[in-house]
Amino acid sequence: MTDMTSNMNASGSSEDLAAQIAAANSFPPEPPARPIRSAIKRVLTDPLGLVGTVIVVVMLLAALFAHWIAPQNPYDLAVLDILDNRLPPGSESFSGMTYWLGTDDQGRDLYSAILYGLRTSIFVGIASAGIALVIGSVMGLISAYFGGRTDTLVMRLVDIQLSFPPILVALILLAILGQGVDKIIVALVVTQWAYYARTVRGAALVERGRTYVDAARCLALPSRMVTMNHILPNCLPPLIVVATMRVAYAVSLEATLSFLGIGLPVTEPSLGLLISNGNKYMLSGDWWISVFPGVALLLLIVGINLVGDRLRDVLNPKFKD
C-alpha cells in the first residue's frame, strides 16, 4: 500500500487520524517470494506431482540400497542356478527362494537384476545430466555475459548441436568411443549440454537486463561475482525444470542405446540391456523377462517427467524446449 504519512502531513491532519486510517487499511502482508520452496510445496500438493515424487523417491532409495534389498547378487555367477532359467513370476527355486518377478535366461532373479539395473540407469542419467548442466550453464553464462562474438559463437555451436537428433549424435560418438559407462556418459553429455546453455543464456539475458545487476556493476564488483551472485540464482527455476526433464531423457536414451547393444557393456547391465536380453524370448511367450525391467524403466521415466511437468507449471519459466 501507499506510504500515507507524507500526504497526511501535507494536509495538516492529526497523527491520530493517520493512525486510524492506516489501521483500517492494513492488509495481511504478502508472503515473501520464495519461488523454489513454494514450487516444491505446490508440486507435492498436486496429486500427479505427489505420485511422481513418490515414485522417484522410492526408485532412488531402491537403487541406492540395491545391495541390501536385493535377495541375490545378480552378477555373482556362483549364486545363479542355470536350472532356474526362465521361470515365470512367483516360481520357487530349488533352494526355496521365491522369484517374485521370475528369472531370466541365466536363472537370475529378475527382481534383483532390476534393482541393480536401476542403479546403473539412475547413475548414468544423473551423472550425465549433472555434467551437462555444469558445462551447459557455464557456456550459457559466458555467452550471456560477454555477448557479441562470444555469444554468436556459442549459440551457433548450440544451434548446430541441436539440429542433429540426440540419438544420431550418440550413435556417432559411441561408434568412435566404443562401449562403457564413461563412454555413454560422455555421449549423453555431448547430446545435452546445449539445452542447458540455451536455457541459462535466455534466463541470464533477462536477469542481466534488470537494474539490480547494473547496480551491482556500478559498485565495481568484479564481473565474475556479479554473474554468480546475481544472475545464477535467478536462472535456477528454469534450470531445475530443464534438468529434471533432461535426467528423464538421459535415462531413456541410455536405455535405448543399451537396448540397441551399443550402450553399456553386458558386465554392467542397465534396464535397457535387461529388456534387450528378454526381447528374444518375447515371441515365445516368456514376456516377463522384458516386461518387468520395462515397467521399472517406465515408472522411473514417467515419475521424473511428472515431477518435471508440475515443476514447469508452477515455476512457469517461459522457455521453449
Partner 1 sequence: MTAYLLRRGGQTLLTLLVMSILVFVGVYLVGNPVDVMISATATPQERAELIVRMGLDQPVWVQYWHFLKGALSGDLGNSFLYNRPALGLIFERMPATLELAFSALFLGLVFGIPLGVIAGLRPSKPESRGIMAFSILGFSLPTFWVGLMMILLFAVKLDILPASGRGETVNVLGVPLSIFTTDGLSHIFLPALNLALFKISLVIRLTRAGVSEALQSEYVRFARAKGVSEWRIVFLHVLKNTLIPLITVVGLELGALIAFAVVTETIFSWPGMGKLIIDAITTLDRPVILAYLMITVLMFTVINLIVDLTYTLVDPRVKIDGGSE
Partner 2 sequence: MTTNMTSRSDYALELRGLETVFDGDKGAVAAVRNVNLAIKPGEIVGLVGESGSGKSVTGLSIMGLIDRPGRVSKGEILLNGEDLRKVSAKRLRSLRGDRMAMIFQDPMMTLNPVLRIDTQMIEAITAHDPRIDKTVARNRCRDALGMVGIPDPEERLYAYPHQFSGGMRQRVAIAIAMLNNPDLIIADEPTTALDVTIQAQIIAEMQKLCKERGTALIWITHDLTVVAELTQRVYVMYAGSVVEEGPLDDVLDNPLHPYTQGLIRSIPADNDPGSRLFQIPGMTPPIDRMPKGCRFHPRCPYVQLDCLNDIELTQTSAARSVRCAHPINQGEQVS
- Where do contacts with partner 2 occur on this chain (CB under 8 A)? 1-4, 6-8, 10-13, 17, 20-21, 24-25, 27
Task: Describe the chain by its helix, strand, coil percentages, rounded to 5.
Answer: 75, 0, 25
What grid cell was written down for 110?
529378475
Binding residue for partner 1, selected from 191, 252, 270, 277, defined by CB under 8 A: 252
Between CA 186 and CA 196 the distance in angstroms is: 16
Q: Which does 11 bind (CB under 5 to 8 A by kind): partner 1, partner 2, none?
A: partner 2
Residues in the chain: 321
Q: Is 14 in the site for partner 1 (CB under 8 A)?
A: no
Among positions 266-295, residues that touch partner 1 (CB under 8 A) are 272, 275, 279, 282-283, 285, 287, 290-291, 294
Binding residue for partner 1, selected from 24, 163, 218, 318, defined by CB under 8 A: 163
**49 versus 231: smaller Cβ distance to partner 1:** 49
Q: Minimum CB separation from partner 2 for residue 17, in Å?
A: 6
Q: Are strands 98-99 and 91-92 parallel, antiparallel or unpaired?
A: antiparallel
* Structural contact between residues 129 and 243, judged by C-beta atoms closer than 8 angstroms: yes
Closest to 185 in 3D by CA, of 95, 237, 122: 122
Q: Minimum CB separation from partner 2 for residue 11, in Å?
A: 5
Q: How far is CA 4 from CA 1, 12, 13, 28, 245, in A?
A: 9, 12, 12, 17, 48
Between CA 73 and CA 320 the distance in angstroms is: 44
Between CA 193 and CA 134 the distance in angstroms is: 8
Q: Minimum CB separation from partner 2 for residue 44, in Å?
A: 18
Q: Is 57 in the site for partner 1 (CB under 8 A)?
A: no
Q: Is 60 helix (H, G, I), strand (E, B) or coil?
A: helix
Burial call 190-207: b when 16+ CB within 10 Å, e when fewer: bbbbbbbbbbbbbbbbbb
Q: Minimum CB separation from partner 2 for residue 18, in Å?
A: 9
Q: Minimum CB separation from partner 2 for residue 35, in Å?
A: 18
Contact range with partner 1 by CB under 8 A, out of 106-114, 146-154, 230-238, 305-313: 305-313
**77 versus 160: smaller Cβ distance to partner 1:** 160
**184 versus 306: smaller Cβ distance to partner 1:** 306
Q: Is 147 in the site for partner 1 (CB under 8 A)?
A: no
* Structural contact between residues 128 and 195, judged by C-beta atoms closer than 8 angstroms: no
Q: Which residues would be at the binding site for partner 1 (CB under 8 A)?
A: 160, 163-165, 167-168, 171-172, 174-178, 248, 252, 255-256, 259-262, 272, 275, 279, 282-283, 285, 287, 290-291, 294, 297-298, 301-302, 305-306, 309
